[in-house]
Structure 1
Amino acid sequence: MGKARPRHKKNRRHNITQPTGIPSVKVTELEDSEFSVPESDKDISIDDIIEEIKSSSVQERLCGLQSLVTLAENPNSVETIIKHKVLKIVAPLLVDGSSEVRNLSAGVLRNLSASGSMQVIEMLVKDDIMTPLITLFLQYTEWNPETAKAEDSDTLLQLVNLLWNLCETDETALKHFNSANILNILLRCLNYQTVGLDLCVTVCQCLNSVSEDNTIIASSLRHHESDFLKILALTSSDQRLLLLKTLAAGIVVNLNPSSPWLEAVVATLSETLEADVHQQICQLSSQLPLNSSTLLSEDALTLLKNIQTLVDAQVMALEILTNLISSQDDEMDVESEESGSDEELDGWTEGDETQLLGLSSEIHEALDKYNLAKLVYMKISSLPENVMDIITNCAQSRALAKRAVRLQCCVYLCLNNLVSVVDMEQFGGPHALYSLVSNIFKQRLCLNPQQPGFECNAELIEASTAAIRAILLRLASFKFSDLGDINPYDLEEIFKIGILPEPRVQANVARIVGTLGVLLVNNPLLVKMVGNYLLEAVERQPALWLSAEALDSLMDVFADDCTDHTAAEINLVPRLQALTHRLKSKMRQERKMLGEHYPVVSTVMTNLSPFIKYKGTRV
């Protein structure tokens, strides 16, 4: 069976405590230190803060909020803030009579909501943050950026960020947004020359998030599609404008995945992805101080800001492209399109041309015209280790290192979707695609999870194995067999990745191993290794759907009659017979809990008995 192309899922953003998105040295040091304030000191500190925030004096409220800002800079303090119900005390200050208090409370809540703690978001929504938030928003109905005080404009910026953080994560917050009459306030902020680029970008980030899979907001925004098309038409070398254009492209796709403006969208994605951000990061690394706490020079700081904005834009572009391919192909479920015939039992269709029909001709033409496949292909390589070490060591650029890994994940996920819908020649042909597999495996985060110093980034490993899985499936559809460099050691290295605890990684590796087994079917030694690995995976997996993934791959490999001798060597039929009762029992028990995995599990269980019966007559 194949694999349905997934949509990219929203991800919580890292804490952004500075307007630029670049954390201060102090914040970064606190994040990385093992320093922990004694609980008694925390209690005293937080009690003082609460007393000041509740004060009738504006100055004392401001003092309390500022102390809370300092306390919240230490990630270890977030739990204390939640424990003492500080969020419920601060939220009403959004409608305080003092504009200074409103501004500072909005900033505090914005930073806490971006701390990465889901508990903060849940508590804010539970404590009815949306009521004062929407109330304050409505005060901006007649807001004029040309005459407004800078403080009020900054408060609006903090509010939009807070709204974005809440709606991106919490369905209840999103429902409040849908019913509130504040969309028009946001739409008035789409002219960056009037409201400023920072606010315009933030508004588009919020609109891009709330319009995804949201028919209520999408329906309203369609009346303003021309505003987003104007943004797409902007020309500038400013990285922030590039991010703004990319966000506008995402909104247009959210409004209508089959929009007549898709070529303009793809052109924008191409423009965003053309820049070689790795080269720029390498250039930056040569300007960073060796002392981790030394502040950057003005030139280096400017370069860092521009690179970080470019990385954010490219991440967004890759996410849009990933989802664009998925939304164009929602009705194509590769995993459910199997028949029970021997010809189709192994899951490969000659030439795989049917998969290429999953996208409209307009999308195919746009992808070809702007060479999107090559642009994604060129971003596969990760940053050199020494460069990653340098930017990780510097306090102010440490967040960039995390963003670079995030970018790498998005490249892999985009490739996972692209590889089955564009002509293979856009990647340079089958041999170039296979070399891409080798290249991905050589990346330091996906080579050997057991080696000393290995950074086990689960999201990155899942994304990279998904990309490898998709590439191999595409190669298998063309009966590509030039795998002469694969040896037992290579398989053992892949097996090591398959024992990581992440379920999606285990499923991907099972498919990778199974596909390699099909391609190596004439190599008995390697097929035997593949068979033993997959059998052991079926036997050890507590999750039925993971057993089904491994079992399906196993049947793909041994469907070929030339594997009969190897099947006998590994006792394939007796071992499968011994597993059948347990698997069927689990199927009866877990049928209603399988969710999205049900089609795969059901098909595998249907095929298992006929497979055992057929193979049993030959072994």
Structure 2
Amino acid sequence: MGKSKNKKFKSPRFSAEGLPASAVKDVEDEEEVDSPAGELLEKLQSPCPDVREYACASISRMVQQSQAIPAFLQRDAVRCLGPLLLDRSLAVRETAAGALRNLSACGGFEVCEYMVKQDILTPLTALLIECCTGFDSGSGLSPKSQKDQKNPKNPVEDVANEAVNLLWNLCESCNRALLVFNKAGLLDMLIRCLERHPHNIELALSAAHCLHTVTEDNTELLGSLNTPVLSGLESVLLSSQPGMAHMLLRTLAAGSMWNMKSCLPSDRQAQTLSALVATLSQSLELDSGTLIPELREAEAARSTAVSSGVEMAERPAGDMEAEEMEEEGGVGMKNGKTTNRDDDISDLLPTGKEELREAAALLAAQQTSLEIIVNMCCSDDPSDDEWEEMSSSDESEMCPDGISEGNSSLLSPLCLSAEVHSALLNHSIPEKVLKKTEFPSSAAIEVCAKSPAWKGLIKKMQRVQCRALTCLHNILSAMELESLGGAPALQALAEHLSKLVFSKPEIPKQEEFLEAVTSAVRSLLQIMASKNIPQCMSAQQLMRLSEAATRCDTISVRVNALAILGITGSTLAREEGTADSLQMIGNALLQVASKDHNMVVCGEALDALFDVFADGKEAEKAAKNIHLLPSLKALQPVFKAKLRKECKGKYSPDQLCVLDNIKINLRRFIGYLETLE
């Protein structure tokens, strides 16, 4: 039976749809120097700081259109903007960093690589060092806060926020940027920015996001960690400021601490782990289905209160422009800056959208919490990412007749440390994760659907559900049955998943949901089959789910669907009067094994066939009825030829190893069927 590999989340990459840097070469040279790009880049050299600031802001807006990016890159925009990061004017520094931030976010991974090759990290590093030096000595008000004397802000922090976001984009897109980050000692700069959280949550959140990214699988960085870094993170983790933004900040700090777990002093590990899991628990306790309608109602009440026009007249023009743009279905903006990183606009909403910020931060905190728990319940096997759903048939697992038995060792839990296991159970993490697997609240979806500005939260709520289902998959793989509540708890869980999938006339078609729910169903069915626990989902229902999943373009979804059929069939084969159901399952598996274009999927279908028809009179009867032996004989040379001709260079070594084992098993299984004849 196929392994159910537990998932591992890496820091989310922004989904850049912009043009790659190589597209610069394809731009025709017809544009003259007086083109919009050329004119703006010339203005960057103006002796007047206002003109330089205007040019930077204009570039910031223009590069949000991917088709405009090659024109700027062709004219060496990165090298033109780089020196302005150290301009005499703080306003120019901020807008220059904002323009580069947008270029990195909207241009894609190759543009980020290009920017690093253009040595943008040298002035960016110098800027961050200067900013951190100026946090305590900065004077005066930033342009944005001059109208709000009650809330003065150090203008250096505005510059630092743009710089940190640019650094974040580069480090999550480019390994070379990470190497520079490690050597330049920028970790200390991020901690300094993080420590501004009591009065500048926006800057602290940017630093926390960046820190969460750069500490992941970064052995060189972890080797240089010092006590001030760990203490700075711990102080954030143990902070207690109210509000969803601070909850998100603590959650990101928890994620960074988990990334650094190998570096924690032994005498602080237990305390830190407890604080970390407590933070995740607090985030998951919050009910977005109740809080989001309340926040939307609060926003509406505040809008009504200011509708007299007095406050509206004093409202900054930038806020009104951003709101008008949102009403037209655009992306939230702030000072001309935007990003498409995972559709996250929480740090780009205009002032006056506090409730929407809170709602976005709430969902981001819960999604991040679930991803951290996924990783806590994940093995460190490097092959996890190579083959998410590897077939398990192996010569070492063969019975005397050459047929692979159900691989019970794969169903045993991973070796969670006692401390992690206890912490997760003490904070009722499995129960809280299960609660988050429910469909988003209809009330929350309804209020968000009525407002263009809030509509984007619907997708975020759905993503939280998907992350919870993936988290459930890993928890099932990593924890003992007794810890989860025994057989009754698993039966209740099977009923819950059944309602999620089968409560509507059609199986939900969203790929993200299908991947998460099929992973959870697969893990649950494996455990229940290994323990002989009856479950409520019928073979017909599981066939419906598998049929919907095998039509999905995502390979892991198709693999999960086939594994579910294999588990179901091998269970039915031990029961009487199930030949008809086995025929239905066998025909479906044969269809995929012979026609799917992906060898991983074909291999999983064959692996499932071996499980279903390995033993039992009902299986023998069904195998004859669907002509299994001649079908596999016809398929064998085709599978071998594809494996020999098509797979090299297309699949990883781990995948090729598994496929080779399946080829051997296919030969042996055909021999087994021939003995039955």
The question of 1:471 aligning with 2:485 is answered no
Deviation at 1:112, TM superposition (A): 3.2
SS of 2:193's equivalent?
Answer: coil
Distance 2:456 2:72 in 1: 24
Residue in structure 2 matching 1:200, options 200, 204, 212: 204
Query: What residue number does 1:603 align with?
Result: 661
Matches within 5 A, 1:401-412: 401-412=458-469
Verify: 1:397 aligned to 2:454, yes or no: yes
Q: CA deviation at 1:577?
A: 1.5
Cα distance change, pair 198–141 in 1 and its aligned pair in 2 (3 A): closer
Sort the Cα spacing of 1:359 and 1:207 in 2 relative to 1 into closer, same or farther, 3 A: same
Gaps of 5+ in 1: 16-38, 450-455
More moved, 340-349 vs 229-238: 340-349
Asked if 2 retains the 8 angstrom alpha-carbon contact of 1:288 and 1:394, the reply is no
Query: In 1, Cα distance between the equivalents of 2:656 and 2:351?
Result: 55
Q: Larger deviation: 152-161 or 142-151?
A: 142-151
Quick one: which of 597, 602, 612 aligns to 1:547? 602
Determine if contact 1:8/1:413 at 8 Å carries over to the other structure. no
User: 1:509 aligned to 2:561?
Assistant: yes
Q: Note if 1:317 corresponds to 2:369.
A: yes
Of 253, 257, 263, 1:248 maps to: 253
Opposite residue 453 of structure 2, the aligned amino acid is Q
Secondary structure at 2:5 match in 1: coil
Provide the TM-score with structure 2 as the length reference.
0.78
Distance 1:443 1:126 in 2: 53
Give 1:575-614 correspondences, 5 Å limit: 575-589=631-645, 590-591=647-648, 593-595=650-652, 596-614=654-672
Q: Which amino acid aligns with 1:52?
A: K
Paired residues of 2:289 and 2:441 also in contact (CA < 8 A): no
Q: Which moved more, 1:200-209 or 1:181-190?
A: 181-190
For 1:365 and 1:68, locate their aligned partners in 2 and report how far apart those are by CA, in whole Å: 53
Which residue number corresponds to residue 29 of structure 1? Answer: none
Mapped partners of 1:42, 1:577: distance in 2: 68
Q: How much does 1:157 deviate?
A: 1.2
CA distance in 1 between counterparts of 2:380 and 2:273 reads 11
The answer on whether the counterparts of 2:391 and 2:604 sit within 8 Å (CA) in structure 1 is no
Kindly indicate whether residue 235 of structure 2 is the aligned counterpart of residue 230 of structure 1: yes
Q: Which amino acid aligns with 2:193?
A: C
Residues 121/467 of structure 1: CA separation in 2 closer, same or farther (3 Å cut): farther
CA distance 1:557–1:283, change in 2 (3 Å):
farther
* Deviation of 1:473 (Å): 1.9
CA 1:443–1:119 in structure 2 vs 1: closer, same or farther (change >3 Å)? farther
Q: Which amino acid is the alignment partner of residue 7 of structure 1?
A: K
Match of 2:533 among 480, 483, 508: 480
Seen in structure 2, the aligned counterparts of structure 1 residues 158 and 511 have a Cα distance that, compared at 3 Å, is same
2:593 aligns with: 538
2:274 to 242, 263, 274: 263
Equivalent residue runs for 1:521-536 within 5 Å? 521=573, 522=575, 523-536=578-591
Q: Which residue of 2 aligns with 1:173?
A: 177
Letter in 2 for 1:266: V
In structure 2, which of residues 25, 40, 55 is the aligned counterpart of residue 49 of structure 1?
A: 40
- Who is 2:50 aligned against? 59
Per the alignment, residue 143 of structure 2 pairs with none
Indicate how the Cα distance of structure 1 residues 97 and 70 shifts in structure 2: closer, same or farther if over 3 A, else same: same
Between the aligned partners of 1:482 and 1:194, the Cα distance in structure 2 is 51
| Match of residue 126, structure 2, among 115, 131, 135 | 135
- Three-state SS of the structure 1 residue aligned to 2:512 is helix
- Corresponding position of 2:285: 274
The alpha-carbon deviation at position 77 of structure 1 amounts to 4.5
Q: CA deviation at 1:468?
A: 2.2
Output the amino acid matched with 2:621. Answer: H
Equivalent-residue separation in structure 2 for 1:461 and 1:481 (angstroms): 24
When residues 92 and 412 of structure 1 are mapped into structure 2, their CA distance, relative to the original with a 3 A threshold, is farther
Distance across 1 between alignment mates of 2:356 and 2:171: 29
Alignment match, 1:122 = 113
Match 2:195 to one of 177, 191, 195:
191
Give the match for residue 10 of structure 2.
9
* Most deviating of 96-105 and 81-90: 81-90
Which residue type is aligned with residue 254 of structure 2?
Answer: A
The 1-side partners of 2:160 and 2:232 are apart by 21
Deviation readout 1:491-541 (Å, 9 max, x if unpaired): 235313212222222112111222222233342222212111111111112
Q: How many angstroms does 1:613 deviate by?
A: 0.8
Kept in 1: contact 2:82–2:123 (CA 8 A)? yes
Report how far residue 121 of structure 1 moved: 2.1
Could you tell me which runs of 5 or more consecutive residues in structure 2 were left unpaired when the two chains were aligned. Answer: 17-29, 141-153, 301-323, 333-348
State the identity as a percent. Answer: 29
Q: Does 1:349 align with 2:408?
A: yes
Asked if structure 2 preserves the Cα contact closer than 8 Å seen for 1:415 and 1:467, the reply is yes
| Preserved contact between residue 167 and residue 210 of structure 1 (Cα < 8 Å) | yes
Residue 320 to residue 74, structure 1, CA distance change in 2 (3 Å): same
Question: Residue 96 in 1 paired to residue 87 in 2?
Answer: yes
SS at match of 1:420: helix
Per-residue CA deviation, residues 373-431 of structure 1 (Å, 9 max, x unaligned), is 11000011122567536524523223323322332232122112111222446365221
Amino acid at match of 1:311: L
CA distance in 1, matches of 2:210, 2:453: 26
Partner of 1:420: 477
Give, in whole Å, the separation in 1 of the partners of 2:672 and 2:299. Answer: 65
Deviations 1:255-282 (A, max 9, x none): 1259433222222211111111232234
Distance (whole Å) between structure 1 residues aligned to residue 631 and residue 328 of structure 2: 62
Say whether 1:429 aligns with 2:489. yes
Q: Who is 1:520 aligned against? A: 572
Q: Which moved more, 1:312-321 or 1:255-264?
A: 255-264
Report deviation, 1:299. 12
Out of 57-66 and 608-617, give the one that drifted further.
57-66
- Specify whether residues 494 and 587 from structure 1 end up closer, same or farther in structure 2 by C-alpha distance, changes over 3 A only: closer
Instruction: State the Cα deviation string for residues 264-306 of structure 1 (Å, max 9, x = none).
Output: 22222111111112322344566788x9829999999333211
Output the aligned Cα RMSD: 3.6
Contact 1:416 1:467 in 2 (8 A): yes
Q: What does 1:293-304 align with in structure 2 at a 5 Å threshold?
A: 293=327, 301-304=353-356
- What is the distance in 1 between the residues matched to 2:609 and 2:400? 15
Q: Is the partner of 1:115 in helix, strand or coil?
A: helix
Write the mapping of 1:447-466 to structure 2, written as runs, cut at 5 A.
447-449=507-509, 456=510, 458-466=511-519
Secondary structure (helix, strand or coil) at the match of 1:97 reads coil
Cα shift at 1:40: 9.4
Pairing 1:438–2:438 present? no
The one-letter amino acid paired with 2:666 is: L
Distance 1:134 1:65, change over 3 A: same
Moved more, 155-164 or 189-198: 189-198
Worse overlay, 430-439 or 369-378? 430-439
Show the counterpart of 2:428: 371
Deviations 1:598-618 (A, max 9, x none): 343233223221111112222
Aligned to 1:220, the other structure's residue is in SS state coil
8 Å Cα contact 1:336/1:599 also seen in 2: no
C-alpha change, 1:357 and 1:403, in structure 2 (3 Å) is: closer
Q: Secondary structure at the match of 2:436?
A: coil
CA contact 2:433–2:468 (8 Å) conserved in 1: yes
Alignment check: 8 A CA contact 2:208 2:252 kept: yes
Q: Report the counterpart of residue 336 of structure 2 in structure 1.
A: none
Per the alignment, residue 158 of structure 1 pairs with 162
Q: CA deviation at 1:234?
A: 2.3
The 3 A distance-change label for structure 1 pair 89 and 348 is same
